[in-house]
Structure 1
Amino acid sequence: MKRFHVHVSVSNLEESIRFYSALFGAQPALVKPDYAKWMLEDPRINFAISSRGAPPGVDHLGIQVGSDEELAQVRSQLEQAQLPVLDEPGAACCYALSDKHWVTDPQGIAWEAYRSLGTIPTFNDERAGATACCGPAATPVQVNFGKRGE
């Protein structure tokens, strides 16, 4: 079953944990010094926040899937729409190891379709020197969806 994913960069993690815990009526399922994640059933969402130096705001959006088949289906949908897809198998990101496919929407927002494979002890592959969240840099993609009446 699919779950909507939202990752927000925040300037104050503790303050944001208090805010979102009150908003969702639940404590985070995972808390790290620079990261927190809620795995909610109502609404069904994987909501994550991090304070890793990125400007505050939406970092990326995504669809978390539960099986290789669901991930392949989402990948196929993107490919059929002729969207450029960045494949990232075995990605180390957000304290998890995952298989991912990234696209960027027309506004420049990164979207990931992913399946988590397990947890890891670091936010990402610290050996690579990354400090922000994983994923491609937000780069607007020119996609012609056509105009009304065309």
Structure 2
Amino acid sequence: MPALKPHVAINVRNLDRSLLFYRNLFGVDPVRVRPGYAKFDVDQPPLNFTINEYPYEDAGALNHLGLQVSSTEDVLAAKQRLETAGLATFDEMNTTCCYALQDKVWVTDPDGNRWEVFVVLDQEDDRKGYDSNRVQPPVKSTCCTPAGSSSSCCAS
């Protein structure tokens, strides 16, 4: 059975604050807003994303979330949209992350969830095996992690 689109649901502490952030991140309004709940049905990239107002003490096991786009121009357009909305961003251009060369911009939602908008410029071809002459991970990697963060998506 083919999936129509991925679904991600996260808990947020303040629905109104998070609604504003996600409107700016996705560039669209939610399709449904109810007390303690909102749903975004994003066309590009296809995503069923919901936020649920729920008090919690820590962020749990979530490392980060991301939106893969088609080009560096798309990354820069997202950065401009986010900065115009007054959100702080962090760039990582021409960086090696998760064994791929990428351009990306990071932003953090009101509850501390980190999002990246990124394009893959070059990567290993897993079907051909590892080629040591292609993309190399940095010796001291902040792989898939914005500066100053201690977690890494490539740690395992």
TM-score range, shorter chain: 0.3 to 0.5
Query: Greater strand share, 1 or 2?
Result: 1
Q: Tell me the TM-score normalized by structure 2.
A: 0.46
Q: Tell me the TM-score normalized by structure 1.
A: 0.48
